[in-house]
């Protein structure tokens, strides 16, 4: 991905204004600072401010009035209309969801559909050419190693790089604590299988990532949902109550940018969650796959960084940030490491060699952080833009999450909208979305959908949003 100093400056202008609109210090109808004043204030050129304002205008935040300057758009208030917090009933349930999800994902896999469904980053945001070059270099330099078995625990240099990066998130990780897996999914499967026995109960966020529910189903476990809210994630008082009534084997959660809410647990809540799990004696399995895609200035800390007892297992992968098709994920584990390594070995012996070698070399080159900076900026703009556009076209009572990282939006449509019917009608018209029903064991969230913002704004995306709007409005009446 191309990246320039100039772009960085436009974005500062852009971010500053959006933040002020959100905070309420710039309100609809307010005039923006003049180009000259902004230029002095931020110590950037007038052309740079102009470009930033143009971007803001394109994204619908502001409008230029001839001879008067730029003004904040009236429009609707974009920050207040968040989805409701959830309050599922505390019941440990068997899950029957996998066949439904698979059928739905298969149906939706049609070339040319507007990509608002599965949470995939656009290839345009990924360093595809750099990776191709590195893969070529790696397999040419060591053709035998590229076809040979890698050790089950994973390529040592890759584990060293992952451990090194973990130190930036407030943890000290020994490369020997890391097990490389086929994506985060295998990491989650290995971790969950290791800490549960069939029939056990596992707590999940409400709503939660459907693959977690499918894994629970696959292993013959029961799920109990924990209430959550779209800003701060898990409701810990509710969790305390649930943990006192159920014998939980584990809680699986995405503390950093929950999928689908985009919520971010505050540090104090993370510390309390770790304490609750230790006190109540259940394991924490955290999926930190979106952690590097923060919109704020700092990389949020994983739950694991608050734990000094080995009770947390962290899973992650490069599927959202680098190369979904490489299937390079990992888990970080202290307590139970041998058992998890054994289960990884049984699941697939080891992970592919060439992809591990390529990622390790990419990380070692220092290119990853540079890449992430650009990707985060792009995703933030895409998420903002998508939220803005959706609010324009969706029915009046619609509520949309305001994620602080990642690239999905959770959209709560008016009650009465059947999102599975909407999903089917959208598909017929070439638009891919995900219905809310797959994000809960009980297929609730019937009036919700999840929207992928992994793709830059384009004709296809715009048309998709427009059609979704029209169809959702029909459904709501």
- Beta strand pairing status for 114-115 and 431-432? parallel
CB 355 within 8 A of CB 317: no
Query: Least distance to its own copies from the beta carbon of 342, Å?
Result: 4
Using CB under 8 A as the binding rule, whether residue 339 contacts its own copies is answered as yes
Cβ density class 203-238: b for 16+ within 10 Å, e for less: bbbbbbbbbbbbbbbebebbbbbbbbbbbbbbbbeb
Query: Stretches 193-201, 265-273, 372-380, 421-429: which one binds its own copies (CB under 8 A)?
Result: 193-201
Using CB under 8 A as the binding rule, whether residue 336 contacts its own copies is answered as no
Positions in 343-362 near its own copies (CB under 8 A)? 343, 345-355
Query: Least distance to its own copies from the beta carbon of 149, Å?
Result: 4
Positions in 204-243 near its own copies (CB under 8 A)? 211, 214-215, 217-218, 220
Among 255, 322, 360, 375, binds its own copies (CB under 8 A): 322
Query: Stretches 6-14, 101-109, 413-421, 445-453: which one binds its own copies (CB under 8 A)?
Result: 101-109
CB 245 within 8 A of CB 474: no
CB 62 within 8 A of CB 74: no
CB 413 within 8 A of CB 448: yes
CB 239 within 8 A of CB 284: no
Q: Report DSSP state, residue 84.
A: P
Among 31, 37, 65, 136, binds its own copies (CB under 8 A): 136
Q: Which CB atom, from 345 or from 463, has the smaller least distance to its own copies? A: 345
Residue showing tokens 């013959």: 220
Among 50, 64, 105, 367, binds its own copies (CB under 8 A): 105
Using CB under 8 A as the binding rule, whether residue 427 contacts its own copies is answered as no
CA 234 to chain centre: 16
Using CB under 8 A as the binding rule, whether residue 296 contacts its own copies is answered as no
Question: E-strand spans in 60-144?
Answer: 62-65, 69-72, 114-115
Q: CA-to-CA distance for 276 and 235, rounded, in angstroms?
A: 12
Positions in 155-174 near its own copies (CB under 8 A)? none
Query: Least distance to its own copies from the beta carbon of 340, Å?
Result: 11
Q: Which CB atom, from 201 or from 355, has the smaller least distance to its own copies? A: 355
Q: Which CB atom, from 97 or from 273, has the smaller least distance to its own copies? A: 97
Reported as half-sphere exposure (CB side, CA atoms, 13 A), residue 67 has a value of 0
CB 443 within 8 A of CB 213: no
Nearest to residue 115, comparing CAs of 464, 468, 472?
464
Query: Least distance to its own copies from the beta carbon of 354, Å?
Result: 7
Query: Least distance to its own copies from the beta carbon of 88, Å?
Result: 22
- Using left for φ > 0, alpha for ψ between -120 and 50, and beta otherwise, residue 416 falls in left
CB 270 within 8 A of CB 306: yes
Among 88, 115, 117, 324, binds its own copies (CB under 8 A): 324
Q: Which CB atom, from 356 or from 381, has the smaller least distance to its own copies? A: 356
Among 102, 268, 397, 462, binds its own copies (CB under 8 A): 102
Query: Least distance to its own copies from the beta carbon of 153, Å?
Result: 9
Length of the chain in residues, anyone?
Answer: 477
Question: E-strand spans in 50-134?
Answer: 62-65, 69-72, 114-115
Binding site for its own copies (CB under 8 A): 98-99, 101-102, 105, 109, 118, 120, 123, 126, 128-129, 131-132, 135-136, 139-140, 143-152, 181-183, 185-186, 189, 193, 197-198, 211, 214-215, 217-218, 220, 319, 322-327, 338-339, 341-343, 345-355
């Amino acid at each position: 991905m191309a990246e320039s100093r100039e772009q960085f400056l436009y974005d500062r202008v852009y971010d500053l204004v959006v933040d002020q609109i959100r905070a309420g210090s710039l309100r609809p109808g307010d005039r923006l600072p003049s180009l000259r004043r902004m230029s002095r204030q931020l110590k950037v050129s007038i052309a740079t401010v102009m470009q930033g304002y143009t971007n803001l205008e394109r994204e619908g935040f502001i409008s230029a009035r001839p001879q008067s300057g730029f003004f904040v758009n009236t429009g609707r208030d974009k920050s207040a209309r968040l989805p409701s917090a959830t309050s599922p009933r505390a019941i440990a349930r068997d899950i029957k969801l996998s066949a439904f999800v698979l059928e739905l994902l298969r149906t939706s896999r049609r070339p040319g559909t507007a990509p608002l469904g599965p949470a995939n980053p656009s290839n345009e945001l990924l360093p595809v050419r750099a990776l191709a070059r590195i893969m070529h270099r790696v397999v040419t330099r060591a053709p035998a190693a590229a076809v040979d078995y890698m050790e089950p625990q994973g390529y040592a240099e890759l584990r060293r790089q992952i451990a090194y990066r973990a130190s930036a998130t407030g943890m000290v990780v020994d490369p020997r604590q890391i097990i490389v897996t086929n994506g985060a999914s295998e990491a989650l499967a290995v971790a969950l299988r290791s800490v549960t026995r069939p029939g056990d109960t596992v707590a999940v966020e409400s709503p939660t990532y459907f693959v977690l529910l499918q894994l629970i189903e696959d292993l013959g476990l029961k799920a109990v949902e924990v209430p959550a809210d779209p800003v701060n994630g898990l409701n810990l008082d509710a969790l305390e109550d649930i943990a006192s009534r159920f014998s939980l084997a584990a809680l699986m959660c995405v503390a950093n940018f929950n999928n689908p809410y985009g919520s971010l647990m505050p540090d104090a809540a993370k510390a309390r969650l770790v304490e609750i799990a230790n006190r109540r004696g259940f394991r924490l399995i955290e999926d930190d796959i979106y952690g590097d895609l923060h919109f704020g200035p700092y990389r949020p800390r994983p739950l694991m960084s608050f734990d000094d007892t080995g009770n947390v297992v962290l899973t992650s992968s490069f599927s959202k940030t680098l190369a979904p098709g490489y299937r390079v994920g990992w888990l970080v584990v202290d307590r139970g490491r041998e058992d998890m390594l054994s289960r990884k070995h049984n699941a697939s012996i080891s992970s592919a060699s060439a992809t591990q070698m390529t990622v390790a070399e990419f990380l070692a080159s220092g290119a990853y952080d540079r890449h992430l900076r650009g990707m985060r900026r792009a995703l933030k703009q895409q998420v903002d833009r998508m939220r803005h556009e959706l609010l324009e076209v969706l029915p009046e009572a619609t509520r949309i999450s305001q994620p602080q990282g990642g690239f999905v939006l959770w959209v709560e449509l008016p009650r009465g909208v059947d999102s599975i019917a909407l999903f089917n009608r959208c598909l017929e018209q070439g638009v891919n979305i995900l219905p809310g029903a797959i994000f809960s064991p009980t297929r609730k969230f019937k009036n919700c959908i999840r929207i992928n913002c992994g793709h830059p704004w384009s004709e296809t995306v715009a048309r998709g949003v427009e059609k979704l709007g029209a169809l959702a409005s029909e459904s709501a009446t």
